[in-house]
Structure formats: structure tokens, C-alpha cells
Amino acid sequence: MQTLRAQTSIQQYQNIKFSQVEINDKFWRPKIEKISTVTIPVCIDQTEVKTPRIRNFEIAAGKRKGKFEGIFYDASDVFKALEAIAYSLKNHPDPILEKKADDWIDLIAGAQQKDGYINTYYTLQFPEKRWTDMSMHEDYNGGHLIEAAVAYFDATGKRKLLDVAIKFADHFASLFGPAKQHWVTGHQELELALVKLFVTTKNDKYLKLADWLLSERGHKNAKGYTWTDWKDTAYAQDIKPVKEQKEITGHAVRAMYMYTGAADVAALTGDKGYVKAMEDVWEDVVYRNMYITGGIGSAGRNEGFSTDYDLPNESAYCETCASVGMVLWNQRMGMLTGDSKYIDVLERSLYNGALDGISLEGSQFFYGNPLASIGRNARRDWFGTACCPANIARLIASLGNYIYGSNNNEVYVNLFVGSKTSIPIGKQQVPVVMKTNYPWDGNVQLTLSPVKKTNFNLHIRIPGWANGEAVPGGLYRFADTSVTPFIVKLNGKEVPYKREKGYIVLQKEWKQGDVVELTLPMDIKRVISRPEVTENVERVALQRGPLVYCIESTDNNGKAWNLILPANTNLTAVEKTVLSEPVISIQGPTPQLTVSSDGTNITTENKQMVAIPYYTWANRQKSEMQVWLPTKIKDVKVNR
């Protein structure tokens, strides 16, 4: 079949798939192992034993008697867990886990109706109401089914779940599309999943269907919404057609999934209307509506966006799934445009907003990720709406998807993760080995070993923070504008290079054993906000490399709200452990205020401040925490 991709793709490069990348560094490898050995077993236990998710499939498949229990979107958590299992099996082969996945897949296949429909909520309760209410996540569940099926097929070569997904997609396509029924997806997800199905099957029908779903928005075709919020079409990004959208609105996770799908469709169809809209909306997110952690969606009432620069810290919603969505969307925008600014934002969200969503032990989770706490926040074993645990699990397990990219004669290095891969250039594979202790230091070594000498361009991302830019667009900036130069060497000698869209580009005939060394400055940086972010006026945050830092009362004499960080404080990087996690902390003497026992006196004393990476907080006990630290005494809150 002749595909649209072959004719019109404008994607600048493709990612190297996770299944082709072996991660072996000291930062990410243990986390990937914990996903396999801790997080996935937790998801299985919650999905199979402690909640009725798998029981619903057993009933629908005729394996037991009973009635539906739970929430109408619970099946999506089964599919996300299966997707995480697929990635895990490639990283950490486990025949027992694979058998468990195959058993689940048998149940899912058994629950599918003859016409391809699959949804335990409707099948077991309201079969006559199928596809009557656009808000009820039938398509969202189906999208996660497709993503799980593609991942499991990629990891194992087994097609049973893929065949279920194809049958579901064909069922949907028989009902909806041009000259058929309208359908505005209540919770976007199916759009990006259909693109994945297209890439796997090479069937243009799925790409065209994804494009059609995007075109349905903004024309008042939505109906059947049962939630009050749906009366506000901005909540579901339905206020304007996608190609006319310029501002971020509504539910953050839904937005990220939709814009990821739109970027995918743009890349594969060459539709410049989507490209322009994605660039405009991205600027609105990053320039006016993103936290320093890369988190998005400040408001809990709609789990999403409010007004520009409304970025409160203590009440920040910042759903973990939204940060996962930022990783997905920015990856697609990077591949679409070849511009590293998108990977800069991806990295910020990955190392801070998303990674904060899972505990260091891999067994507890955050749904929301505030940037300040008076000690009431704690990670939880599970949630009634349990989208985040499996979502962060599948992201970390699939980290290999985000490190490298390539096209015919270009190699892209996007993230600095110790790893091995083999990248196709022309008619040969080029083995690549990356060694690094990133993010704790900035030394990166790349060894390239083509079997035969070959010409290609090596693009290595230089993070914006290494060039003196805190974030694209200036929502946050470094207080100190001086920049320590980075260093690039080829086979031990400094080498000339070009600069292109945030990458350095080395052009040469590469031979076996060529070694490129990159040294990035790991200076401690003070970050300040635009004045429109009123909560951060006369406050600073700390960043080192890609990591945002916070202070936690556990490390600071039981208090996190009583100190000042003057501009002249000498800050140093100090090795530390948080539980069993080796980290680099930031330490320095700061004025700290204490109220006397009778409440009549305030004293100030210089004590050592200890700041830890934001992703590590709330792992030891309930504690006070702040990311944005006051620089003047009037902003200190001694008795929080």
C-alpha cells in the first residue's frame, strides 16, 4: 500500500525506538529496573486484586459471573499497565510477567464483541447506549488499547492484542468519519493512537481517521456531555478548530494528548496548518503557562489551565499525566521541526514534573505535584482515578524512545543517558555508545563505530540552560547572565562545529572508534520569574543542570518556610543521599528566623540550607517544602 508518509512527511528525523536502545547508566537504569520489579507488580496487584478492573474483563469474557464495578474509564489503566509491561519485557525479560500479560490479553480478546467493540462499562451495563455520549471515554479507552497493542507487538512480536486493536479501530471507522456520524472525542487519546497504528500497519485509513477526528473539533458537533464542565467547550479544546487555535485552554492532559496527535498528523501528512497551530499553542504554554518544573495545569477545578501567568505554588495542580503529556508532545515537536527548544522543555518536564510523580522506591505516587507544601502532602499507594501510576511507569520504561534520532544522513543526540544503540545511516548501521554521569555532572562521551567509513552529520543538543537560557520565551531567566562555555572535543582535540537550531553539528567522514566528548557547565543557577507571576516576586529558585531544586524541612531543622536566600549567599554542590538515592544537593549558609516559645521574639541565625532535587521530595515523611525561596524577610512565613 502506498502511504501518506512516503509521499508527504515533513518530519526532520525519527526517534530510535526504545527496543533498539540499551540504557545502562547509574541514574536511569535503576529507575527502569524498579519499574519492572516494583512499580509494575504494584500496578498488577491494584488492577487484578485490589480493584475490579480485571474482574470486569473476566465477566465480559464469560469467565465469571458478576456486574461491572468501578469507573467507566478504568479499563484504560489495564491497557496502560500492559504498555508498561511491554516496555519492561524488552528492558528486563521475564517469562512470568509475559505470561501474566498474555493472560490479560486473552481476557481482553474474550471481552471484545463480534463487531469489534470493546468497553466493559457499556458491555456489562448499557449495551444499547454505546457511542451515545462523547464524554464517556469509549474512544479514550480504545486509544490506550491501541497504544498497548502496538507496544506489545514491538516488544514481543505477538499480534493477538494488535489484532484486537485493529478490529476495534475498524469498528470505530465503520461508524465515524466523513459522510458518517460526527464524533468529538471527550478525552483525546485516540488521535495519537491511530497514528501509531498507521505506522505499524501502514494502513492509511488510520492516519486519515486521526486527521478527521482533529477536524471535528470547534464546529459545535459535541453532544451527550454529562458533566457540567463540558458546557464550556474550551475545557475540551473544542472552542475553535484545531488549525485555528493559538491559546492553551481547558484540561491539561486532554490538551497534551490532542496536540501530540496533531503534531503526529502534521509530520506525516505535511499539513502546515497543524504545524502553525502547534507552534502558536506551544508558545502560549511555555511562554506564559508552564511551571519551572515543566509542569502544566495550575488549576484543580478543571485539572488544567486558567489565565496567563496564573502559576500558584502551594495550590499548583500540575498533574503527573500532564507532565508525561509534555514529554510526548515536545518529542513530536522536536522531530517535526528539528529544533532543540522542544527537547529542552521535554527534558525539564521529564527530570522534574514527571519524575516527581513516582517515589524513589517506585511504589507510591503523586497525582498532583505542587511547588510548595506546609507538610500535608504525601505520596499515595493508588488513586480512585488511577491514570498516573501506569502513565509514569510506561514513560520511564520507554525512556529509550527519547534519546536518539536519525534520518538518512543525520544522527541526533537529544538526551544524555548512558546507553548503547545502533543507528541506520544509508545502508549501514552505526553503533553508538554514550557514557555519562548526567545529570550529576556534565561530561558526555560518545563513541561512534561505523563498520565502514561514512559521511553523516552528528547533531548534539546543547541545552538552553548551558547557553544561559532558563526556558524558551523568558518566562523564567537566570539572575546571573554569565555563561560558562561548554567544550567539544573529537578524539581528544577541540573541534570546529556549526550551530543549528540549538544543536552543534559535526560534519565529517566518521570511522570506527571516533570519540566525541562534550563537557557541559554544571553551575548552580538562581532563577527568577517574569513579574507577572506574582507569587514569585522577590523569590528565586535553584537549578543545576536540568534539575530544579527545593528545600524540604527534613533537611533544614524541621522548617522550610523560615529562611531567606540573599543574593550573596555562597552556594556549593555537595554529594548526599535521599533514602538510597545518591544525589547532588545544593548547600549554603542562609539567615533563618525562629520565634521564641512565648511568641514575643524573633531571632535570626545563619544556618546551613540544604536543597535537594525536586523529584526526590516527600520520600521520607510528610514535610514542608518550597521551590521558590524568598530573598527578603517580608516574605518569610515563620509559623506555617
Q: 402 is written with which cell numbers?
A: 527519547
Q: Say whether both 74 and 195 belong to one domain.
A: yes
Q: Say whether both 44 and 122 belong to one domain.
A: yes
Mean pLDDT of 521-539: 97
- Give me the amino acid identity at 607: K
Q: Say whether both 424 and 496 belong to one domain.
A: yes
Q: 91 is written with which cell numbers?
A: 528492558
Percentage above 90 pLDDT, the chain: 88
Q: Say whether both 126 and 275 belong to one domain.
A: no
Domain-located, residue 4: no
Domain-located, residue 400: no
Note down the domain range covering 237.
Answer: 232-357
Domain-located, residue 79: yes
Domain-located, residue 436: yes
Q: Say whether both 502 and 567 belong to one domain.
A: no
So what's the pLDDT on residue 639?
61
Whether the predicted pLDDT of 3 surpasses 50? no
Whether the predicted pLDDT of 4 surpasses 50? no
Domain-located, residue 331: yes
pLDDT digit string, tens, across residues 553-563: 999 999 999 99
Exposure class string for 513-541: b at 16+ Cβ within 10 A, else e? ebebbbbbbbbbbbbbbbeebebbbebbb
E strand or H helix at 23: strand 21-23
So what's the pLDDT on residue 464?
97
Domain-located, residue 2: no
Among residues 500, 519, 538, the one where a domain terminates is 519
Q: Say whether both 311 and 438 belong to one domain.
A: no
Q: Say whether both 175 and 284 belong to one domain.
A: no
Q: In what order do the strands lie in the sheet with 404-407?
A: 14-15, 404-407, 410-413, 454-461, 503-510, 498-500
So what's the pLDDT on residue 227?
43
Mean pLDDT of 34-62: 96
Weakest mean pLDDT among 320-334, 377-391, 477-491, 532-546: 377-391
Nearest Cα to 68, choosing from 13, 154, 127, 12? 127
Weakest mean pLDDT among 39-43, 75-79, 572-576, 629-633: 629-633
**611: phi then psi, degrees, rounded to nearest 5:** -110, 140
Whether the predicted pLDDT of 229 surpasses 70? no
Among residues 189, 216, 243, the one where a domain terminates is 216
**What is the CA 250 to chain-centroid distance, rounded?**
18
CA distance 146 to 169: 8
Q: Say whether both 491 and 531 belong to one domain.
A: no
So what's the pLDDT on residue 236?
81
- List the alpha helices (DSSP H) in 46-159: 53-60, 75-91, 95-111, 120-125, 138-156
Mean pLDDT of 432-441: 98
So what's the pLDDT on residue 7?
45
Q: Say whether both 205 and 258 belong to one domain.
A: no
CA distance 297 to 316: 8
**What is the CA 507 to chain-centroid distance, rounded?**
32
CA distance 391 to 380: 15
Domain-located, residue 45: yes
List 43, 318, 321, 387, catalytic entry = 387
pLDDT digit string, tens, across residues 35-48: 999 999 999 999 99
pLDDT digit string, tens, across residues 278-322: 999 999 999 999 999 999 999 988 889 999 999 999 999 999 999
pLDDT digit string, tens, across residues 90-139: 888 999 999 999 999 999 999 999 999 999 999 999 999 999 999 999 99
Neighbour-count burial of 62, counting CB atoms closer than 10 A to its CB (0-12 exposed, 13-18 middle, 19+ buried): exposed
Whether the predicted pLDDT of 447 surpasses 90? yes
Do 369 and 318 contact (CB within 8 A), yes or no?
yes
Give the CATH number, domain containing residue 438: 2.60.420
So what's the pLDDT on residue 8?
59
CA angle 153, 204, 135 (to 5 degrees): 80
Among residues 155, 184, 216, the one where a domain terminates is 216
Whether 22 is catalytic: no
CA distance 595 to 636: 12
Q: Say whether both 196 and 274 belong to one domain.
A: no
Q: 449 is written with which cell numbers?
A: 563505530
pLDDT digit string, tens, across residues 240-261: 999 999 999 999 999 999 999 9
Whether 303 is catalytic: yes
DSSP secondary structure of 219-263: SS------SGGGGSGGGGT-SS-GGG--S--SBHHHHHHHHHHHH
Question: Which residue did the predictor score with more confidence, 346 or 225?
Answer: 346
User: Coil, strand, or helix at residue 598?
Assistant: coil
So what's the pLDDT on residue 124?
97
CA distance 50 to 53: 9
Mean pLDDT of the chain: 94
pTM exceeds cut of 0.85: yes
CA angle 549, 551, 553 (to 5 degrees): 155
CA distance 533 to 116: 49
Q: Say whether both 510 and 545 belong to one domain.
A: no
CA distance 184 to 213: 7
Whether the predicted pLDDT of 226 surpasses 70? no
Whether the predicted pLDDT of 426 surpasses 90? no
Quote the number of domains for the chain: 4
Domain-located, residue 587: yes
Q: Say whether both 502 and 537 belong to one domain.
A: no
Whether the predicted pLDDT of 54 surpasses 90? yes
List 216, 303, 319, 552, catalytic entry = 303
Q: 244 is written with which cell numbers?
A: 485555528
CA distance 109 to 157: 17
Q: 190 is written with which cell numbers?
A: 485516540
CA angle 203, 206, 209 (to 5 degrees): 145
pLDDT digit string, tens, across residues 182-216: 999 989 999 999 999 999 999 999 999 999 999 99
Q: Name the CA radius of gyration of the chain, rounded.
A: 25
Residue 640's pLDDT band, with cuts at 50, 70 and 90, is low
Contacts of 278 (CB under 8 A, 6+ apart): 259, 262, 263, 266, 333, 336
